[in-house]
Structure 1
Amino acid sequence: MSFWEKLVNFVSQSAGNVLTGVVEAVRTLFEGDPETRRQVAFSVSLIALSAKMAKADGFVTLEEVNAFHEIFEIPDKERANVARLYNLARQDVAGYEAYAEKLKGLCAGGEEGCPILEEVIDGLFHIAKADGAVHENELAFLARIAEIFGISEVRFKAICARHIDRGSNDPYRVLGVKRSDDFSTIRSRYRSLVAENHPDRLIARGVPKEFHAAANDRMAMINAAYEEIERERKAA
């Protein structure tokens, strides 16, 4: 059974539940299948929080909808089921902070600093910027979600730099290093990022293969930042 078939099965069994019911359904339905549980936890988190982000921003653009489908590459026959989960989250009276708290536990499973939570933030940025800009309300939303997830300010700024050009387009911030760092330190950081974003590592963290299009976009930005720094250092 494919990942999306399992997700559709999950949606059909938890339809109509509010946040707590959805979270408990994921834990119960996939208790004996940790790999699928991680994938479903990731997808449910990104779907639910993107719905809440749209509500916080006040509207959903066609570009954001297209970005959402680009991330997940949802087969036509299963889009209606994903839309059901999206609308459940959007209509739920629970605030986005409550969602983030619950989904943090669902994704991390008790693990501190769970890497999959950064993947959720990255995916939300990918959707938010689809209309050409990450708006003020969206950025505040994302910063608060990152805070709840326990993502450090330094890490959050590095994620921001991959998605937002604040005028400086600083490649050092993209890699999460300082201009004062020597090149060996920068190269080491770059290699760590490459290893972290290898498809096998993403799968091990529970990131569905359907999400890898966004991961490839991120890797391209990381490569470009490193190449720019390398050219700068050689020229100096």
Structure 2
Amino acid sequence: MHYFGKLIGVLFGTMFGGFLGALIGLYLGHRFDRARARANHPFGGTSGGYRGTASQQQRQGEFFKATFAVMGHVAKSKGQVTRQEIELASNIMQRMRLDPEQTSAAQAAFRDGKESDFPLDEILQKVRTVTAGRYDLLQFFLEVQVSAAFADGSLDPKERAILHTIAQGLGFSAAQLEQRLRMQEAAFRFQQGGFGGHHQGQYQGGQWQQAPSANQLKDAFELIGVSEDADSREVKRAYRKLMNEHHPDKLVAKGLPPEMMEMAKEKAQEIQNAYDLIKKEKGFK
């Protein structure tokens, strides 16, 4: 119960204004207590809100809803949301293997994000709060938005601009976002070459079924985040860092909604496939 402000308000109000002062102090104290309660529990409310410390399940729920709401906002950034963009969002939901109830919640959040008065800054602050500022979760959130924007194979200038706003709101620099955009563009091409985690892979039984092109090898390096002239030590260090940041079990343990674990698995497999291709083609051990 929050009553500290009321007590102080009544005390000082009585001292300086008698009964009337006490009433004014009580009112001001009440406003103070409510403001402090909202600061401590930003998603609380008089009904259906959090009481006490938000549970892991509640935080995961907020993260889940924010992911699709912001995705809808990015889709809307170009103007009218096209049928293709809706289908791409639905494809992401399918890749997550959401049940009907989860799909309905994701669709509702996506529609909320398309509203003209969507409070983007407030939602991004909420994401930072529910993730406790954990870099890997914030990075995953940003990568989902980048992946969704790139799902049609191109990035509109307005989408790029809103992604920069999102990155800044999550605490990432413009340079960090641009690196993620380059890595995602390479990942898209890598997937189109048959090496994506959720496609019928060309990599089977520990062997590539067809010789990769020079461009596919270049994309693998860029997907890992290193230059083509990187030595085996540099490649391995980048690979291990990415795998540590994208390990599905670690992400869920830190607050990633279980519903989004499939996407985390896909990303980890994508990184693994790129690393395996580089190792084979460059003869790294």
TM-score (normalizing by structure 2)? 0.61
- Report the residue type matching 1:86 in the other structure: F
Displacement of 1:101 in angstroms is: 4.0
Displacement of 1:180 in angstroms is: 5.1
Equivalent of residue 273 in structure 2, options 189, 214, 224: 224
- Report the residue type matching 1:114 in the other structure: Y
When the two structures are aligned, how many residues end up with a matched partner? 211
Q: Kindly, what percent of the aligned residue pairs are identical?
A: 20
Question: Is the 8 Å Cα contact of residues 117 and 149 (structure 1) preserved in structure 2?
Answer: yes
Question: Is the 8 Å Cα contact of residues 96 and 259 (structure 2) preserved in structure 1?
Answer: yes
Point out which structure has higher relative CO (alpha carbons under 8 A, 6+ apart). Answer: 1
Match status 1:140 vs 2:189: no
- Report the residue type matching 2:150 in the other structure: K
Question: Is the 8 Å Cα contact of residues 197 and 219 (structure 1) preserved in structure 2?
Answer: yes
Distance 2:263 2:105 in 1: 22
Map 1:135-214 onto structure 2 (within 5 A).
135-153=156-174, 155-165=176-186, 169-179=218-228, 181-214=230-263
Question: Is the 8 Å Cα contact of residues 175 and 222 (structure 1) preserved in structure 2?
Answer: yes
Distance 1:88 1:39 in 2: 18
Match status 1:105 vs 2:128: yes
Partner of 2:204: none
Instruction: In structure 1, list runs of 5 or more residues that go unmatched.
Output: 1-19
Question: Is the 8 Å Cα contact of residues 221 and 278 (structure 2) preserved in structure 1?
Answer: yes
Write out per-residue CA displacement over residues 119-148 of structure 1, whole angstroms, 9 at most, x where no aligned residue.
111212332233343333223322331122
Equivalent of residue 121 in structure 1, options 142, 165, 184: 142
1:156 match: secondary structure = helix
Larger Rg: 2
Instruction: In structure 2, list runs of 5 or more residues that go unmatched.
Output: 1-37, 190-214
Displacement of 1:164 in angstroms is: 1.2
Write out per-residue CA displacement over residues 180-203 of structure 1, whole angstroms, 9 at most, x where no aligned residue.
543113212212322332222011
Distance 2:52 2:96 in 1: 23
Distance 1:54 1:100 in 2: 16
Distance 1:104 1:85 in 2: 14
- Report the residue type matching 1:57 in the other structure: K
Displacement of 1:28 in angstroms is: 4.4
- Report the residue type matching 1:126 in the other structure: S
Distance 1:213 1:80 in 2: 18
Cα RMSD after superposing both structures: 3.2
Match status 1:89 vs 2:108: no
1:25–1:219 distance in 2 versus 1, CA, 3 Å: same
TM-score (normalizing by structure 1)? 0.72
